[in-house]
């Protein structure tokens, strides 16, 4: 089913994300985790795409197993900056062949010390979106950044480019993680003002590894509110306690989003069915209300 159709339903939708294995040896353990996440009956499951495109076949294959074997709508991520246009078009062809209807179209991070832009490569996600549209009847998602993309010098430009990207044929947006909901509310106000009216799925990250998260936030420009920083400082060295606190913090964020009228929430479940399940249990009555 196309995600844009799912998002028209006036009820709370929770979706999850998995990442594909880097080696074939880990395929069955990733598939097993995905099966358990699918058993929670989310609105859809997204499958990330290796930055350099090296694991593309696993993204395609896991996305098709989610749909065909587990009966859940799947969303295949696709990045374009590190592959030739021909290579990317081949992957779009494979997705079409497998009957995958939903693609999250991304530029991907720029390769470190690499040449950019590269001849015969895409430069921005908007170019990929135009190409996907010309290749088939896909439902297309794209990324957005409530705190501004890390490469963008000015947030205003980031929103201007986002508007252009959306106008190229995007059906919905998913946000980068954030730990302070007021940042999201502010972002939504600013993009609506610029005429970006399509559904925006807030991306919520249940943090299970505090130290790693501090590094990732520093790299991606994601603010760590004082309240969350002290949770990491206190529980970061105790994995089970950190996981419990991370799930509680994510649940708190999600409840606030739902209470403020947001109906579609995407959870970065990172191949951890126990985390996805704990959040669904915490929300069981809330989702039905
Ligand atoms: P773009 O929309 O192309 O934007 C990139 C930068 O260029 C921004 O600073 C923007 O302001 C600027 N820009 C955009 N258009 C123009 C223009 N026309 N002219 C000038 N400047 C412009 N990475 C992976 O490798 N695999 C994944 O599976 C993956 N999944 C993700 C899922 C989500 C929900 C998010 C938020 C990110 C994901 N990423 C993933 C990371 C993403 O690839 C990086 O953040 C990347 O650096 C930007 O991708 P984009 O599609 O947002 O780029």
> 148-199, pLDDT tens digit by residue?
999 999 989 999 999 999 999 999 999 999 999 999 999 999 999 999 999 9
Q: Please state the rounded mean pLDDT for residues 210-214.
A: 92
**E strand or H helix at 251:** helix 239-259
Cβ–ligand 1 contact at 126 (below 6 Å): yes
Are 85 and 134 a contacting pair, CB within 8 Å?
A: no
What are the CA-CA distances from residue 189 to residues 54, 82, 222, 240, 252 (Å)? 38, 33, 19, 37, 22
Cβ–ligand 1 contact at 270 (below 6 Å): no
Going from the Cα of 110 to the center of ligand 1, the distance in angstroms, rounded, reads 9
Going from the Cα of 281 to the center of ligand 1, the distance in angstroms, rounded, reads 32
Nearest residue by C-alpha to atom 32 in ligand 1 = 143
Specify the ligand 1 atom closest to the Cα of 266. 34
pTM beyond 0.85, yes or no = yes
Q: pLDDT over 70 for what percent of the chain?
A: 100
How high is the mean pLDDT of the chain?
96
Domain ranges of the chain: 3-288
Marked catalytic residue, from 5, 9, 17, 115: 17
Distance CA 56, CA 103 (A): 13
Cβ–ligand 1 contact at 164 (below 6 Å): yes
Specify the ligand 1 atom closest to the Cα of 78. 28
pLDDT per position as a tens digit, 144-154: 999 999 999 99
Residue 226 a catalytic site member? no
Calculate the CA 234 to chain-centre distance.
28
Specify the ligand 1 atom closest to the Cα of 176. 36
| Biggest CA pair distance of the chain | 53
The CATH code of the domain at 3-288 is 3.20.20.220
Q: Please state the rounded mean pLDDT for residues 82-97.
A: 96
Going from the Cα of 221 to the center of ligand 1, the distance in angstroms, rounded, reads 14
């Amino acid at each position: 089913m196309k995600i844009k159709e799912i998002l028209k339903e006036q009820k709370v939708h929770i979706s999850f994300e998995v990442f594909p294995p880097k080696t074939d040896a880990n395929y069955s353990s990733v598939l097993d985790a995905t099966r358990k996440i699918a058993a929670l009956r989310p609105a859809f499951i997204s499958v990330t795409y290796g930055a350099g495109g090296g694991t593309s076949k696993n993204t395609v294959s896991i996305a098709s197993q989610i749909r065909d074997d587990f009966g859940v709508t799947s969303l295949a991520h696709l990045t374009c900056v590190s592959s030739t246009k021909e290579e990317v078009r081949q992957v779009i062809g494979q997705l079409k062949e497998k009957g995958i209807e939903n693609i999250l179209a991304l530029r991907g991070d720029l390769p470190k010390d690499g040449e950019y832009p590269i001849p015969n490569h895409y430069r921005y996600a908007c170019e990929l979106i135009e190409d996907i549209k010309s290749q088939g009847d896909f439902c297309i998602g794209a990324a957005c950044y409530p705190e501004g993309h890390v490469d963008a010098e000015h947030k205003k430009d980031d929103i201007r480019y986002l508007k252009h990207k959306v106008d190229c044929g995007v059906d919905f947006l998913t946000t980068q993680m954030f730990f302070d909901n007021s940042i999201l509310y502010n972002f939504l106000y600013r993009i609506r003002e610029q005429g970006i009216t399509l559904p925006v799925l807030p991306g919520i990250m249940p943090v299970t590894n505090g130290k790693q998260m501090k590094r990732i936030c520093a790299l991606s420009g994601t603010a760590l509110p004082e309240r969350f920083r002290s949770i990491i400082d206190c529980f970061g060295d105790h994995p089970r306690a950190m996981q419990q606190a991370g799930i509680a913090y994510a649940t708190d964020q999600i409840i606030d989003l739902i209470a403020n009228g947001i109906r579609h929430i995407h959870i970065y479940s990172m191949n951890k069915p126990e985390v996805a399940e704990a959040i669904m249990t915490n929300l069981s009555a809330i989702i039905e209300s």
